[in-house]
Amino acid sequence: MTDRNYIERSFDLALRGSGYVSPNPLVGAVIVKDGEVISEGWHEKYGGPHAEANAINNYTGDLSGSTLYCNLEPCCHTNKKTPPCAPLIISSGIKRVVISNLDPNPEVAGKGVSMMQESGIEVVSGILEEKGNELNRFFFKHIKTKQPYVSLKIAASLDGFISTGRDVQTWLTGSESKKYVHSLRASYDAVLVGASTVKVDNPKLNVRETEGRNPIKIVVDGNLSINPDVSLISEEPEKLIIYTSENSNPDKISKLRKMGVTVVPVSSNRDSTLELAKVVADIGSRGLSSLLVEGGANIFSQFVASDLFDDIHLLTAPVLLGSGLNFAPLKNRKELKIKRSQKIGEDQLLLLTK
């Protein structure tokens, strides 16, 4: 087993916190002594102990001379919910620390490494760095830009249609794709749709087809046309945020707020669409580090045209509709790259980046 193998293991452990630790990073830790893994831990939930602390405290024997593998630089700052990890590592007797990524948090940013090195611990960093960056892409983007990592999820026909027409719900992708979408929801902090998707599909936007917690649900509804009877309001109003125009009916805003919904007025563009950059910035300011945009066509087009996305999960069903509503009516051509391609049940997934 090499350093890379143990770092890979720390990635696997880190992923167990997916959906539960945000806006904290996903972190896993492995302690190895005399070639044997003697303890493991991961950051299990926001506010709970860090991965390194869990790994150290899970082991009751002597850690002296052991090596700690951890995908992220151990923390050293004290103005937070849990005690810092670097001093704990130093006092544990661990003699070598191997990490993948430095913590971009300006309060850590190499200081964790320095603190450990100064007390005589050998520190190796940058192992599988790119894969570590990928693992914590939500955290890294949010901590550096205060914006959420934005993914668009599109389910379309082979010929680029999401439905046979405007305001028509069309069944396209299969049950495996549905599971895939629900697993995405479980890993993103928030899921966003436009008002017409709420009207046509009355979606719940929760996690049913897989294990996981429900995300925050967001509706962009310029005219505040949402019907108070929809599932998003009746089922978990406290998990719903509606962005609407500053000119929307104050009585309706009050009524929704009394029902437990968060309503956020935002300024509009000339064409009366909401200023999407402001919506996204507000989402980031709420500590939501990742956003999954689930449609419809107008919303996709706005996110693509305003370049407010990081990647696109395009699920293609093996069907030709022949005509209908195109998934992203745009004024200008947009070049992308295929990062990953994968069969999901009978459908095809393309993961696209800029």
Residue 307, interface with its own copies (CB under 8 A)? no
CA atoms within 13 A on the CB side of 294: 26
Three-state DSSP class for 232?
helix
What is the smallest separation between the CB atom of 314 and its own copies, expressed in angstroms?
Answer: 6
| Shortest Å distance, C-beta 327 to its own copies | 6
Q: Which residue stretch of 135-143, 174-182, 234-242, 314-322 sits at the interface with its own copies (rule: CB under 8 A)?
A: 314-322
Q: Does residue 188 touch its own copies according to CB under 8 A?
A: no
Please give the structure tokens belonging to residue 112.
């964790």
- Taking the C-alpha atoms of residue 264 and residue 195, their distance in angstroms, rounded to an integer, is 14
The binder of its own copies chosen from 35, 61, 120, 322 (CB under 8 A) = 322
Residue 309 within binding range of its own copies, rule CB under 8 A: no
Q: Is 44 a catalytic residue?
A: no
Residue closer to its own copies (CB basis): 223 or 323: 323
Compute the distance between CA of residue 86 and CA of residue 53 in angstroms, rounded to an integer: 10
Binding segment toward its own copies, per CB under 8 A, in 132-140, 159-167, 255-263, 269-277: 159-167
Binding to its own copies (CB under 8 A): which residues in 266-305?
301, 304
Q: How many residues would you count in the chain?
A: 354
Whose Cβ is closer to its own copies: residue 258's or residue 337's?
337
Among the listed residues 146, 13, 21, the one whose alpha carbon sits nearest the alpha carbon of residue 82: 21
Phi then psi for residue 303, to 5 deg, are: -65, -40
Residues 160-179 that bind its own copies (CB under 8 A): 160-161, 164
Peptide bond preceding 296 in cis form (omega within 30 of 0): yes
Which residue is catalytic, options 36, 40, 44, 52? 52
Verify binding: residue 216, its own copies, rule CB under 8 A. Answer: no
Instruction: Answer whether 239's CB lies under 8 Å from 214's CB.
Output: yes
Report if residue 150 touches its own copies, rule: CB under 8 A: no
- Report which of 280, 246, 283, 290 is spatially closest to residue 265, judged by C-alpha positions: 246
Q: How far is the CB of 76 from its own copies (least distance, A)?
A: 42
Please report which helix (H) or strand (E) contains residue 314, including its range: strand 311-317
347 binds its own copies (CB under 8 A): yes
Going by C-alpha positions, the residue among 81, 51, 57 that lies closest to residue 69 is: 51
Catalytic site residues?
52
Interacting residues with its own copies (CB under 8 A): 156-161, 164, 301, 304, 314, 316, 318-323, 326-338, 341, 343, 346-348, 350, 352
